[in-house]
Amino acid sequence: MPGPRILRPGLAALLCMMLALSVGGEICQDAVCSYRFVVRRARTMTHTRTLPNGWKQNNQVSITHDGHLELFTTLTLDRNRDVNGTRVSSDDVITADGVQRNVILVNGQFPGPAIEVMEGAQIAVTVVNQLMMDAITIHWHGLHMRNTPWMDGVPSVTQCPIMPHESFTYRFAAFPAGTFYYHSHMSSQMADGLFGALIIHSSNPPIPSVPLLFNDWYHEEAETMDIASKHNIYHVGAGQFELAEPSRGYSVDGVEITGRKFVSALINGRGRYKSNKAPLAKFTAEGGHKIRMRLIHAGGDHVFKVSIDQHALRVVASDGHDINPLAVDAIIVSPGERFDFEIDAGASPDSYWIRAETLREGSCVTCTWDSITVTPDDIVEETRAVLVYQNSSSDQDPTSEPRNCTPENPCIFLNCPFGGYPEDRQIVCISIANTSSPTSSKDDAVEGGGVVEYFLNLGFRVGSNINGHRYLPSTAPLYQSPSTNMITPCPTDCQGCKCTHILNLPFNKTIQLVLAGYITTSTGFPAHHNVHIHGYTFDVVASGYPSFNRTTGIFTHSNPDVVCSNELCTTVKWRQGSPPIKVKNAPRKDTVILPARGYTVVRFRSDNPGFWFLHCHQSMHLAEGMAMVLNVAGDRHPAPPSGFPKCGNFSWSEEDYEAAMSGDWQANKKYWDQLLEALLLRQD
């Protein structure tokens, strides 16, 4: 039951403008915050009107040359017409990027409604699946789910998928505080729109804050893309990429940005395909005041660089956890990551572009292992939103430009997946490992139990894998039964096997994961990954990038701290012991970029028993099997609530069939009596 919204005098108008985007929520101040999510599929660029007889009718909408929405008629096709069609408000249409396709909505909204609660509240969300043909689960990305690990929303790990017409009530603690989001965890389904902001406040916010969710967006549904791609990722697996395909983009270091070809992208559900005039998200600022923006990458595959023309971004938190403030020009955000930043609306009253661009620099047409040249092209992969100052005339598109980066005043980018840009670009990269948290976490107390170290190498040996294992989901949730035959056990020597990869972790130890992205010439190509852990926040205690040519930016040598332990590089190890680990005031995150041919070291205290998924958050990599389960303290898992749904394979025997065919209706009389009574169908 959402409580009253907190408004401070003078900010009301500002908040109202933002709420018009329908991504900001009301802050629930109650101990139990309950929501009902009705999940449906709908069509973008469609207007629904109620006819006089009460029936509803959907009509296609088109965009006029001057950016208005009109009901589509044959008129629309006539560019020289002198009559205008029926206008509809952009508030009544899910426009996305102005192109028609299917989209998944929660309560009719895209992105789904924001949940905003106070820390420690109990969140209860009843999810009603009205998708008719697809099962769903919802994952509460970044929350710890302590004592309720089976509420984590991962199909086949924590629960049976919610089937069409079914409902499922998630109930869990709002912890920790910060910027989070929810999203479908069924394969690539979240790419079709099933996501929304989840904000947990530790105290009432002193300045207005607004979620800025962005995502890469395609014109086909995720499953269609996944099976239609050359490598049919579910059944054939990757490794079949054609490196020379010119449409694929490369970042400045000579790494392919993702196997998913860019189509478009959205900010708070809006964008423009190519140069159409679809409406964009608008953020209104009151001149001279601060706003906190909560950047959430809710997309599937592309990494974005986010900036606001002529405004410094004062970064104050990542993945919900405070960092010592840092003024930057742009933040690089991979799928699943969040960054909170403040802006001072101190520029001249005007409107400014908010930009989210992929890291594409060009194509790599003649690349071989030893010779990489990224050829710049004019393909622009970006989306935009608008920051409008209150008193500026706001109907026109902004004409603003980003500031120039100069030797005297270089630009600062946070979270580059590579060591740096070419020198002449005047861009300084700050890595996450070089940010700091204002406080030390309890994980810093490593002396107590010692550190237990694991190496996880993410690569492509017959499809995306971790340590050579492609994750094969179990046929029922792992909490369902102690039976082992619902999983496919992993062989001891796995060099590209498909199995239910589970790593057992001891209780209450400092776990150190060395996340590595190493490859050899025989095991495919480099890629940046971004690793997300469920059930925990980790400390980012070290990272290592490959070296690169300072003139071109191109990769030259893998980071030497880590080496492959075998020819296929399915496992890795330190070359000469670990590099310096920065434990004190380490930044805390739950999703972290893993540089290609480099590593990121994270630590956490294994004090939250459960089966916790750990995976690359790029949807193609995840769907192919770049995932595993951490079984933390296997003897201490809390039991699921009674009546927790079960699922799995079913088969029956010939004997049972014969028995059924004998027609002995009395054998189960008691069962039927009870059932018919429950259905109110008893005949006597």
Q: How many H helices and E strands in the chain?
A: 5, 45
435 touches ligand NAG (CB under 6 A): no
> Quick one: 88 or 124, whose CB is closer to ligand NAG?
88
Strand order in the sheet with 46-50: 46-50, 56-63, 69-71, 87-88
The dihedral sign for the CA sequence 245, 250, 255, 259: negative
Among 46, 552, 571, 585, binds ligand NAG (CB under 6 A): 552
Q: What are phi and psi of 383, to 5 degrees?
A: -140, 165
Which residue lies nearest ligand NAG, judged by its C-beta? 448
84 touches ligand NAG (CB under 6 A): yes
Which residue has 């750990």 as its token pair?
614
Among 467, 523, 543, 606, binds ligand NAG (CB under 6 A): 543
396 touches ligand NAG (CB under 6 A): no
Burial group, residue 99, by CB count within 10 angstroms (0-12, 13-18, 19+): buried
Which residue has 């935009």 as its token pair?
384
Both tokens of 375, joined, read 């050829």
Q: What are phi and psi of 375, to 5 degrees?
A: -95, 115
Among 4, 10, 448, 450, binds ligand NAG (CB under 6 A): 448
Give the type of residue at 74.
Answer: T
Residue 629 CB, shortest distance to ligand NAG, in Å, is 17
Task: Choose the contact partner of 552 out of ligand NAG, Cu ion, none; CB within 5 to 8 A by kind.
Answer: ligand NAG
> Quick one: 256 or 309, whose CB is closer to Cu ion?
256
Site string for Cu ion, 511-530 (x = CB under 5 A): ------------------x-
Candidates 189-197, 356-364, 581-589, 616-624 — which segment interacts with Cu ion by CB under 5 A?
Answer: 616-624
> Quick one: 152 or 286, whose CB is closer to ligand NAG?
286
Residue 339 in contact with residue 331, Cβ under 8 Å? yes
Residue 192 in contact with residue 664, Cβ under 8 Å? no
Which residue has 């956490």 as its token pair?
604
Residues 605-624 that bind ligand NAG (CB under 6 A): 607
328 touches Cu ion (CB under 5 A): no
Residue 247 CB, shortest distance to ligand NAG, in Å, is 25
148 touches ligand NAG (CB under 6 A): no
655 touches ligand NAG (CB under 6 A): no
Print burial letters for 401-437: b (CB count within 10 Å at least 16), e (below 16).
Answer: ebeebeeeeebbbbbbbbbbbbeeeebbbbbbbebbb
Task: Choose the contact partner of 529 out of Cu ion, ligand NAG, none; CB within 5 to 8 A by kind.
Answer: Cu ion
Both tokens of 332, joined, read 């690089």
Rounded CA-CA distance 271/569 in Å is 41
Among 390, 394, 436, 547, binds ligand NAG (CB under 6 A): 390
Among 160, 411, 616, 632, binds Cu ion (CB under 5 A): 616
618 touches Cu ion (CB under 5 A): yes
Residue 124 CB, shortest distance to Cu ion, in Å, is 33
Among 215, 351, 431, 441, binds ligand NAG (CB under 6 A): 431
Residue 621 in contact with residue 464, Cβ under 8 Å? yes
Residue 359 in contact with residue 248, Cβ under 8 Å? no
How far is it between the farthest Cα atoms of the chain?
A: 91
Task: Choose the contact partner of 616 out of ligand NAG, Cu ion, none; CB within 5 to 8 A by kind.
Answer: Cu ion
391 touches ligand NAG (CB under 6 A): yes
Rounded CA-CA distance 222/237 in Å is 16
83 touches ligand NAG (CB under 6 A): yes
Among 34, 426, 549, 565, binds ligand NAG (CB under 6 A): 549
The dihedral sign for the CA sequence 271, 277, 278, 283: positive
* Residues at the site binding ligand NAG, with contacts judged by CB under 6 A: 66, 82-84, 286-287, 390-391, 431, 433-434, 448-449, 475, 485-486, 508, 543, 549, 551-552, 607, 649
* Residues at the site binding Cu ion, with contacts judged by CB under 5 A: 529, 616, 618, 621
